[in-house]
């Protein structure tokens, strides 16, 4: 199962932005609740004060009017000039409308004739009794007006978040990125540490929460460096110390084998010689592997690899008379400069030639192709079944289905050296002429200016 990773900064920005939006919404909700109560108090106070000031005026106006059969209407001074939310009626003790404002009909208010506030039917009504409780003045305020005022206030509080939230996200991201920069620097420093780079991590100004991590990592790197160095030294020293006595034993065994005449003795001596040669090959590869682990591939001086490959092919051809190598060089420039160590490249390329000669089909040529962009390809036909995943041959001591002698370290050494040269090794199977299968190894090195 693949676990998706997300940056710490992204998580903090998203979480803080969501919390900011949630808290702002909660604050707006509480503010609206408080404002609504305050608005009701203000409107009720204004409604009561208006009714009390209006009562004496409308009553006086009523008694000045001539008696009529129907209710009287007060004309508007400037009709339609402004929104009018307050209406009023003057009613008698029987509930009949005697006088009303111009913006209300003759239908009596549903509020009872009792002094005080009453709500209903989209109105808030305040009633006051006058003239010994024979006339009642009722002033009504529209509840829709109150809801409109509350809604506009709520929108006034909510709309800024549409602008402030994006700005807040940018501000939070800027703060979070600055705060997590030491974490990113520590991550980058740790990610560059591997088998070829075990130098201590030196970072200044780390926060207290992660200040102890570099020290612990440096302690671990120090122990790992000592362990790897001890392993390399053991392999290199053992291989180096055993080469001379092993070469002497091999020479003595060859002399002894020449003096034996009995078939059984001759067979035993051949098996001993074969075992000694395998051991000698294994020691040679272990010595090369220890040099590869030591990081010999890096160099600041460019080397002409075209001339070096030609020299290596000629040398290999002289020492392996039964092998045929077809060298294909690129047209154009006679040099191919790369900033690599020539000894390291020679070890890697010789391992490819030895691998092709040892495991390739007997009597078939080995093809070495060089391209102008720095790719070196070694191809040889094979008669054995290859693993579908050719990358398994990069592992140490991993060999194909063959009985031919070998150490299983050749491609592992090449892969290690190419990584140190900032190059790549690609393994593939190819189709050759005559429906034959070929094993191809390609080395690619970047230009020197990169």
- What pLDDT digit, counting tens, does each position of 387-438 carry? 777 878 887 766 666 656 666 777 888 888 888 888 889 898 888 877 788 8
- pLDDT above 60 for 195: yes
Is the Cβ–Cβ distance between 265 and 393 less than 8 Å? no
- Give long-range contacts, CB 8 A cutoff, 24+ apart: 61-67: 61/99, 62/90, 62/98, 62/99, 62/135, 65/99
Residues 6+ positions from 324 with CB-CB distance below 8 Å:
364, 365, 366
How many residues belong to the chain? Answer: 450
φ/ψ of 432, rounded to 5, equals -100, 175
> Looking at the whole model, is its pTM more than 0.75?
no
Tell me how far apart the alpha carbons of residues 445 and 93 are, in angstroms, rounded to a whole number.
Answer: 108
pLDDT band at 450 (very low <50, low <70, confident <90, very high): very low
Give the single-character DSSP code of 436: E
Which range has the worst mean pLDDT, 59-73, 123-137, 214-228?
A: 59-73
Q: Where does residue 121 fall: left (phi above 0), alpha (psi -120 to 50 degrees), or beta otherwise? A: left
Residue 3 confidence (pLDDT): 46
The C-alpha R_g of the chain, in whole angstroms, comes to 49
Give the residue with greater pLDDT, 382 vs 249: 382
Largest CA distance in the chain: 159
Instruction: Identify the CATH assignment for 297-444 out of 3.30.565.10, 3.30.1490.20, 3.20.20.240, 3.40.50.10540.
Output: 3.30.565.10
Fold of 8-150: Beta-Lactamase (3.30.450)
- pLDDT above 50 for 1: no
- pLDDT above 70 for 120: yes
Residue 340 confidence (pLDDT): 86
Provide the residue ranges of all domains of the chain, joining segments of one domain with +: 8-150, 194-294, 297-444
Tell me how far apart the alpha carbons of residues 173 and 7 are, in angstroms, rounded to a whole number.
Answer: 12
- What pLDDT digit, counting tens, does each position of 148-190 carry? 888 888 888 777 777 777 887 888 888 888 888 888 888 888 8
Task: Supply angle C-alpha 80, 39, 22, rounded to 5.
Answer: 115
Residue 407 confidence (pLDDT): 66
Identify the three-state secondary structure at position 317: helix
Hey, which residues does 72 pair with through a beta bridge?
A: 99
Tell me yes or no: is domain 194-294 CATH 1.10.1060: no
- pLDDT above 60 for 2: no
């Amino acid at each position: 199962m693949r676990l998706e990773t997300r940056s710490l900064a992204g998580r903090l920005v998203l979480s803080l932005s969501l919390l900011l939006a949630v808290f702002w919404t909660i604050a707006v909700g509480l503010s609206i609740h408080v404002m609504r109560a305050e608005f009701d108090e203000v409107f009720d106070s204004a409604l009561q004060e208006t009714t009390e000031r209006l009562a004496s005026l409308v009553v006086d106006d009523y008694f000045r009017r001539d008696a009529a059969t129907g209710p009287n209407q007060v004309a508007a001074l400037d009709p339609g000039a402004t929104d009018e939310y307050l209406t009023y009626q003057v009613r008698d003790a029987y509930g009949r409308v005697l006088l009303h404002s111009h913006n209300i009909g003759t239908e009596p208010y549903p509020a009872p004739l009792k002094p005080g506030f009453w709500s209903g039917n989209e109105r808030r009504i305040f009633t006051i009794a006058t003239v010994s409780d024979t006339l009642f003045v009722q002033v009504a305020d529209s509840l829709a007006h109150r809801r409109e005022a509350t809604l506009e206030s709520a929108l006034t509080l909510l709309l800024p978040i549409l602008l402030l939230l994006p700005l807040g996200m940018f501000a939070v991201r800027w703060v979070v990125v600055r705060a997590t920069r030491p974490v990113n620097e520590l991550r980058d420093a740790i990610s560059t540490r591997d088998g070829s780079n075990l130098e201590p991590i030196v970072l200044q100004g780390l926060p207290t929460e992660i200040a102890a991590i570099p020290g612990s990592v440096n302690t671990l790197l120090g122990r790992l460096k000592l362990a790897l160095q001890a392993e390399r030294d053991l392999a290199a020293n053992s291989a180096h110390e055993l080469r001379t006595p092993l070469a002497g034993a091999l020479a003595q065994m060859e002399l002894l084998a020449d003096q034996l005449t009995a078939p059984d003795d001759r067979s035993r001596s051949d098996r001993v010689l074969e075992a000694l040669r395998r051991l000698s090959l294994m020691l040679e590869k272990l010595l090369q592997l220890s040099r590869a682990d030591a990081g010999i591939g890096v160099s600041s001086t460019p080397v002409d690899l075209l001339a070096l490959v030609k020299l290596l092919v000629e040398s290999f051809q002289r020492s392996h008379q039964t092998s045929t190598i077809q060298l294909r060089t690129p047209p154009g420039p006679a040099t191919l400069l790369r900033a690599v160590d020539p000894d390291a490249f020679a070890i890697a390329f010789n391992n490819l030639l030895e691998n092709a000669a040892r495991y390739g089909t007997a009597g078939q040529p080995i093809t070495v192709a060089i391209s102008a962009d720095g790719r070196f390809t070694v191809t040889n036909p094979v008669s054995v079944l290859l693993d579908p995943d050719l990358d398994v041959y990069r592992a140490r001591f991993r060999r194909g289905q063959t009985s031919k002698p070998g150490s299983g370290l050749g491609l592992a050494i090449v892969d290690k050296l190419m990584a140190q040269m900032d190059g790549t090794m690609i393994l593939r199977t190819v189709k050759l002429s005559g429906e034959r299968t070929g094993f191809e190894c390609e080395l690619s090195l970047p230009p020197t200016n990169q």
